A and B are shown apart, each in its own frame.
Chain A
Amino acid sequence: MQGAAQARKYRLQGAGLDLALPYLMLAPGLMIVLGVLVYPLWDGLRASTRAYRYGSPISDVGLQNYVHLWSDTQFLNALWITVKFVALSVSFEAVLGFALALFCLREFRGIRLLRTVLIIPMVITPVVVAIVFRLIYASDAGMLTALSEAIGGGEAQILGNPLNAFIGLVVLDVWEWTPLMFLILLAGLQSLPHEPFEAARVDGAGAWRVFADLTFPMMRPVLAVAIVLRTIDAFGTFDQVFVLTRGGPGEATRLISIYGYDTAFKFQQTGYAAALFVTIGLVVLALAFSAIRLLRRIDAS
């Protein structure tokens, strides 16, 4: 008995303390992670299984909020608009970003300045970008209308027409976020090995051949990472739409983030909004995991 107590004391003072020490040192960090990441997530999940009335929870409804989402035409419409917006914006950004990165890979006079200028849109606050585009698009006093009238045309109808407003939003996003693609892809291009390209040049390969057989295959993993990052980010687009169109005209630009915001804060359907955001979170997670698996397969091949 006394031997066991001695052993416990030894464990606590010696090897036991050694074992516990890392956990003790991790504890503050773990507490912070639990507080700022795990608890809000848990709270959001819990809210998504409740019905709220006038901002307060009134009953547990299990998965009813999740089930109801799939018969909510406004949600489905917002989801479809978001998918179209993300697909179009990210595609354009990838193509333009790649083209710009290839162009800026060359060394010529003024290239450093050009590279700096190209990333300016990305560092401007999204709300400011939206205000600027509103001044461009406004039919009564916008820059496009002024241009149109200067060449003898009528008022430019962007924000009052569903298709034009949607395209206008995509243009804004492409203008603002192509620089991110450009930056990632330029870094990728600069890190490619030189030897294969020199060998190709010696063999007399043309520019297109070099791009198709060397540059693009070698850049695929970087491109995939850039697309995944931007896709996840684009799903959460909010500020620009909030300022530019508020989701209109009609519901033409009502992205899922705007619908979720209105549902949670304007209509006070807190539980339903939580279910909506959990669902979208899961969709984005699924996308990210699929992209990572795809990347691994590309790497393996």
Chain B
Amino acid sequence: MMHSSRLTRRSVIKGGLGLALATTALTTLGLPMPARAAGKKVIIGAFADGGLTPFKQKIIPLAKEQGFDIEFLEDEYGVTLEKWFADAQSGAGQYDLYLLDDPWVPQFGAANVLEDLGAGGIDGADKDWIGSMIDMGYWPPQQGPRVKGFESAKSTLICVPFVGDLQTLTYRNDVFTGGAPKTWDEVIAKGKEGVAAGKIKYPVVFRGVSGNPIVTSWYPVFLSFGGSFFDDKWNPIFNSAEGKASADFFVGTMKQNAPSGVVEFDSDQEGAAILGGEAGAIIQYSGNALKADDPAQTKVAGKLDFGVVPSQAKAIAQMGIFIAGVPKAAPNKANAIEFLKWYVSAETQAKLSEAGSIPVKRSAFGIAKPGNRLIPVALKQLDAGALPRPRTPDWAKVEELLGIELNKALQAGSGGGAALDTAAKQVKDYLTTAGYY
């Protein structure tokens, strides 16, 4: 039996024409259209990180109200750099926006695969930016040493800061009763008292996995001991006396006061230790810190406070901002730039701060009700000192070489200084073959 209202080619064409006519009529009459109809599609590629939770939960809906059709694609951190770099270089055009980790900017910049956002109308000179954050969006860097081949190149804004992530201290306020520990020695001494009192199992916990994780954990210790990574000619100087002291402290004292399996710890185990109430103090980015007051995510809600990173010589944290770049092959390039302009406006940044995420504009730190206790501490840390990782496209390899040696020393529980000597030689050899000198 034939159905009387079956779909024919004629009926489809009729329907399509009718729809087109109705849309045109509505637009002409000035009647409001649903947001999606504006068609401002933006495909965002991001790596999974708790630091983006407020953006996903609060800012994407706001963006939709503005007519943006956001497609948010997440991947595991370990594969995003290679995936996006291949996408940008091949011109595949799968994304409109990458939310990069800031040390990746030089690699994308050197390969010349990202749009000039300054030319797109984003004002890098706006005084409201946190200066150290917007600086990271330029390639080649506006200040500091430049790698060979880019000495005289014009500095261009290829990325804009997206979430102002940086390391701060999270500590147990029932262990460190006098407020945030000021030095690393205090972290260990008071932490041991906390262990003796049965409040915690370990004074400290950190990431020990070879490569990026262990270097990320060691870096604030290294900076706080007064170390510098390269000189202004790209010679490795991280194996200075200060650097070696920091590495010995890290693989020795810190390991002895951390869980026995810390060699294999990455951010998930590190976060579990502090949120599960086992550890006394931790240096971490905002991802896990944002969970500190949520009883559903931590066993010690109300017992976790934040402070600037401990100092030995000075209290300097490592920056680790999410930073947005638009690939030259982006299918919706204009939409992506328009979205970024809206996102970095003082108004939207204030909303981001209200949502609990660390903003990238100074005015947003000063709002009446920031959505998270971490936000004022982050500003305090920025003012105390926070540095990006060295701005070279070869950072991934440098970090790998150093991370392997540090991890070996951590396994042994000693020999941090010797590990730095070995790594410094390997880094120097590598950069020599890469034409740095």
- Using a CB–CB distance below 8 Å, which chain A residues touch chain B? 53-56, 138-141, 154-155, 157, 159-162, 242, 246-251, 262, 265-268
A140-B265, A141-B272, A159-B261 are known; give 12 further A-B pairs, CB within 8 A.
A139-B259, A140-B273, A141-B269, A159-B264, A160-B264, A162-B411, A242-B78, A246-B78, A246-B209, A248-B404, A250-B408, A268-B393
Is B35 an interface position by the 8 A CB rule? Answer: no
Collect the chain B residues with CB atoms within 8 Å of residue A56's CB: 89, 111
Binary flags per residue of B108-145, CB closer than 8 Å to A gives 1, else 0: 00110000000000000000000000000000000000
Residues of A within 8 A of B408 (CB): 249-250
In the complex the two chains form, what is the Cα distance from A246 to B211 in whole Å?
Answer: 9
Check if B353 is an interface residue, CB within 8 A of chain A: no
- Complex contact A249–B263 (CB within 8 A): yes
Q: Which residues of the partner chain A approach B393 to less than 8 Å between Cβ atoms?
A: 54, 268
Of chain A, the residue at the smallest CB distance from B108 is: A54
C-alpha spacing A107/B351, complex, angstroms: 71
Choose one: A159, A262, A268; the contact of B400 (CB below 8 Å). A262
Question: Would you call A246 and B210 a contact (CB within 8 A)?
Answer: yes
| B396 with A247: CB separation less than 8 A | no
Q: Is B27 engaged at the interface, CB distance under 8 Å to the other chain?
A: no
In the complex, A244→B414 CA distance in Å? Answer: 25
Q: Contact at B407–A248, with CB atoms within 8 Å? A: yes
Which chain B residue lies CB-closest to A250? B408
Are B89 and A248 closer than 8 Å at their CB atoms? no
- B262 at interface (Cβ–Cβ under 8 A)? yes
**Among B78, B208, B209: residue with most chain A CB under 10 A:** B209
Is the CB–CB distance between A139 and B264 below 8 Å? yes
Q: What distance in Å separates the Cβ of A144 from its nearest Cβ neighbour in chain B? A: 11
| 11 CB-based A-B contacts, threshold 8 Å | A56-B89, A56-B111, A140-B259, A140-B269, A141-B269, A161-B263, A246-B211, A249-B209, A249-B264, A250-B210, A250-B404
Instruction: State whether the Cβ of B377 lies closer than 8 Å to any Cβ in chain A.
Output: no
Task: Name the CB-closest residue of A to B434.
Answer: A53
Q: Give chain A residues whose Cβ lies under 8 Å from the Cβ of B110.
A: 53-54
**Cα distance, A141 to B408, chains bound together (Å):** 23
Whether the Cβ atoms of A268 and B209 lie closer than 8 Å is no
Q: Are A250 and B411 neighbours in the complex by a CB distance under 8 Å?
A: yes
Q: For residue B404, which residues in chain A have a CB less than 8 angstroms away from its CB?
A: 248, 250-251
**Known pairs A140-B261, A249-B264, A250-B210; A160 contacts B400 (CB<8 A):** no
Bound CA span A156–B331, Å: 50
- CB-defined contacts of B210 to chain A, threshold 8 Å: 246-251
Identity of the chain A residue whose Cβ is nearest the Cβ of B273 in the assembled complex:
A140
Docked complex Cα distance between A114 and B106 (Å): 56
Given contacts A251-B404, A266-B82, A268-B107, contact A138 B397 (CB under 8 A): no
> How many whole Å from B304's CB to the nearest CB in chain A?
19
Report the bound CA distance from A267 to B395 in whole Å.
9
B85 touches A138 (CB 8 A): no
User: Taking each of B89, B110, B264, B411, which has the highest tally of chain A beta carbons within 10 Å of its own beta carbon?
Assistant: B264
Interface of A (DSSP majority class): loop
Bound: A162/B289 CA distance, A: 32
Inter-chain CA distance A222–B200, complex, in Å, is: 59
Query: What is the minimal beta-carbon distance from B244 to any residue of chain A, in angstroms?
Result: 19
List chain A residues, Cβ under 8 A from B208. 160
Residues of chain B with a CB closer than 8 A to A155's CB: 259-261
Distance of B146 from chain A, by nearest CB (Å): 14
- Indicate whether B195 reaches chain A with its CB closer than 8 angstroms: no
Closest to A137 in B: B264
Chain B contacts of A248 at CB under 8 A?
Answer: 209-211, 264, 404, 407
Instruction: Assess the A160–B263 pair: CB atoms within 8 A.
Output: yes
B334: interface (CB < 8 Å): no
User: Complex Cα distance A246/B213, Å?
Assistant: 12
Q: Which residues of A contact B25 (CB under 8 A)?
A: none
A267 near B260: Cβ-Cβ < 8 Å = no
Minimum CB distance partner of B261 in chain A: A139
Taking a contact as CB atoms closer than 8 A, the residue among B111, B396, B411 that contacts A267 in the complex is: B396
Which of B76-116 touch A at CB < 8 Å?
78, 81-82, 85-86, 89, 107, 110-111
Query: Min CB distance, B170 to chain A, in Å?
Result: 18
Whether the pair A138, B400 counts as a contact (CB closer than 8 A) is no
Interface of chain B residues 202 through 250 with chain A (CB within 8 A): 208-211
Check B400–A266 contact: CB distance below 8 A: yes
- Per the bound structure, the CA–CA distance linking A159 and B208 in Å amounts to 11
| Cβ contact within 8 Å between B85 and A265 | yes
The answer on a CB contact under 8 Å between A160 and B86 is no
Q: How far is the CA of A242 from the CA of B81 in the complex (A)?
A: 15
- Complex Cα–Cα for A56 and B260 (A): 44
Interface hub of A139, A160, A162, A265 (most chain B Cβ within 10 A):
A160
Chain A nearest CB, measured from B272 CB (Å): 7
**Minimum Cβ distance to chain A for residue B200 (Å):** 15
Closest chain-B Cβ to A247's Cβ sits at a distance in Å of 7
In the assembled complex, how far is the CB of residue A270 from the closest CB belonging to chain B, in whole angstroms?
10
Question: A54, B111: Cβ atoms under 8 Å?
Answer: yes
Q: Please tell me if B394 contacts chain A, counting CB pairs below 8 Å.
A: yes
The reply to whether B400 and A267 contact each other, CB–CB distance below 8 Å, is yes
A157 to B82, CA, bound (A): 31
Q: Mark B64-86, 1 if CB is under 8 A from A, else 0.
A: 00000000000000100110011
Chain B residue contacts of A154, Cβ below 8 A: 260
Q: Out of A160, A247, A267, which one reaches B262, CB within 8 Å?
A: A160
User: Are the CB atoms of A157 and B261 closer together than 8 Å?
Assistant: yes
A237 CA to B408 CA, complexed, in Å: 24
- Give chain A residues whose Cβ lies under 8 Å from the Cβ of B259: 139-140, 155
CB nearest to A270 among chain B residues: B89
Which chain B residues border A159 with CB–CB below 8 Å? 261, 263-264
Taken together as a complex, chains A and B put the C-alpha atoms of A157 and B259 apart, in Å, by 11
- Tell me whether A157 and B260 are in contact in the complex, defined as CB-CB below 8 angstroms, given that A54-B111, A141-B272, A251-B404 are known contacts: yes
Complex contact B78–A268 (CB within 8 A) = no
Residues on B with C-beta less than 8 A from A54 are 107, 110-111, 393
The 9 closest A-B CB pairs, nearest first, are A139-B261, A160-B263, A265-B82, A248-B210, A160-B264, A159-B264, A54-B110, A54-B111, A250-B408
CA distance A268 to B86 in the complex (A): 10
Contact B269 A161 (CB under 8 A): no
**Contact of B260 with A266 in the complex, beta carbons under 8 Å:** no
Distance between Cα atoms of A159 and B408 in the complex (Å): 13
Nearest A residue to B210 via CB reads A248
Given contacts A54-B107, A55-B111, A265-B85, contact A139 B397 (CB under 8 A): no
Distance of A162 Cα from B263 Cα, bound (Å): 10
The answer to whether B82 and A161 touch across the interface, beta carbons within 8 angstroms, is no
Minimum CB–CB distance from A44 to chain B (whole Å) comes to 15
| Cα(A141)–Cα(B273), bound, Å | 11
**What CA separation (Å) do A2 and B393 show in the bound complex?**
71
